[in-house]
Every structure is written in structure tokens, then in C-alpha cells.
């Protein structure tokens, strides 16, 4: 059964909702952080430990670098792969690599390569001609053993802003 009158409380609540929804000063503004370059630390795990005896479980590691800017290219000038002790194992950029808008690149460490250890990391240096959306830089680890499989990701952390 419909009420014969619109209750004042409902009228007030309807007005409040309309003001909140349609008021430009109340709407959330999304500000994406822009940058001209960074040094990014990306955790990686060439293996993790399992069980009480801490048996190594080997993992393949993929470093993924994604340019999230819709209109400007970025340049990757350095990708270093470091072991758990912080020693440089490999440099992957012989020449700077330009990544076009919305494009990506990857570097793969084979599952059989346990040299990096459980505390391995990548250090990625990138720059752009103008401030752009920050790229997504992450590592993806995956491994299988018998009938067991594991996969997870680790997001990069900016350690130096404005790196060239």
C-alpha cells in the first residue's frame, strides 16, 4: 500500500543525496601522480622455502614493465638483477629501450636459475621527456613441483624520484 503523503524525512534525504551527487565541489577528483623518471626497486624471488626443513621451491620470474601513459613513450635505461646479498648478477639493458604508450616489455629469469635467491631484486631506471603516468613495474613468480604449483606477484617501489 502506498502512503498518501511523502514523508518530510524522505524529502530531506532525497535532497541531500541529490546535492551530494550533483555538486561539482563534492565530487572526488582523481589525481594520478606524474613523473619524468624514477629508480624502482622490484622484489623478486628465484625461490622460496617450504616445509619445516626449508626446502627451496624454484620459481620462474618475469619482470614486467608497462607504460601506462596514453600519449607519451618512456625509456628504460637500466635493469639490474641483484641477489639476496645485493650483488649485481646481470645488467639487461645494453641500449636504452623505448616503450611506446600502453606498451610493455618483459625480462624472464628461468625457473632453474636459483642464483638470485629468496631476496633477489630488480632495479629499474626509466625516464620520459615530460611528466607521464607512472609505469606499472612488477615481478611475477610461478613454479610447479610434482602436483603443486605456486604463483604470486610483487609490485615495484619507487626509491629515487627523478632518476635519469
- Nearest residue to 148 via CA among 61, 62, 48: 48
Query: Could you tell me the three cell numbers for 104?
Result: 610493455
Helices (H), the chain: 8-22
Spell out the CATH class of 35-161: mainly beta
Question: 82 near 90, Cβ under 8 Å?
Answer: no
- Nearest residue to 67 via CA among 141, 107, 129, 126: 126
Domain boundaries, the chain: 35-161
State the average pLDDT for the chain: 88
At residue 159, the pLDDT reads 96
At residue 53, the pLDDT reads 85
Regions of the chain with pLDDT less than 70: 1-30, 163-164
CA distance readout (Å), 146 to 57, 81, 94, 150? 11, 28, 38, 11
At residue 7, the pLDDT reads 62
Amino acid at each position: 500500500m502506498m502512503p498518501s503523503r511523502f514523508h518530510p524525512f524522505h524529502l530531506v534525504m532525497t535532497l541531500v543525496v541529490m546535492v551530494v551527487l550533483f555538486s561539482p565541489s563534492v565530487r572526488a577528483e582523481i589525481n594520478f601522480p606524474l613523473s619524468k623518471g624514477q629508480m624502482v626497486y622490484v622484489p623478486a624471488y628465484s625461490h622460496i622455502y617450504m616445509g619445516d626443513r626449508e626446502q627451496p621451491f624454484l620459481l620462474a620470474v618475469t619482470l614486467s614493465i608497462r607504460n601506462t601513459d596514453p600519449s607519451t613513450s618512456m625509456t628504460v635505461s637500466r635493469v639490474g638483477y641483484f641477489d639476496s646479498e645485493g650483488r649485481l648478477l646481470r645488467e639487461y639493458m645494453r641500449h636504452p629501450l623505448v616503450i611506446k604508450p600502453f606498451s610493455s616489455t618483459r625480462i624472464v629469469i628461468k625457473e632453474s636459475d636459483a642464483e638470485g635467491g629468496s631476496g633477489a631484486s630488480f632495479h629499474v631506471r626509466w625516464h620520459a621527456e615530460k611528466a607521464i603516468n607512472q609505469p606499472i613495474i612488477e615481478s611475477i613468480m610461478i613454479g610447479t613441483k610434482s602436483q603443486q604449483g605456486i604463483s604470486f606477484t610483487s609490485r615495484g617501489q619507487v626509491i629515487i624520484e627523478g632518476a635519469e
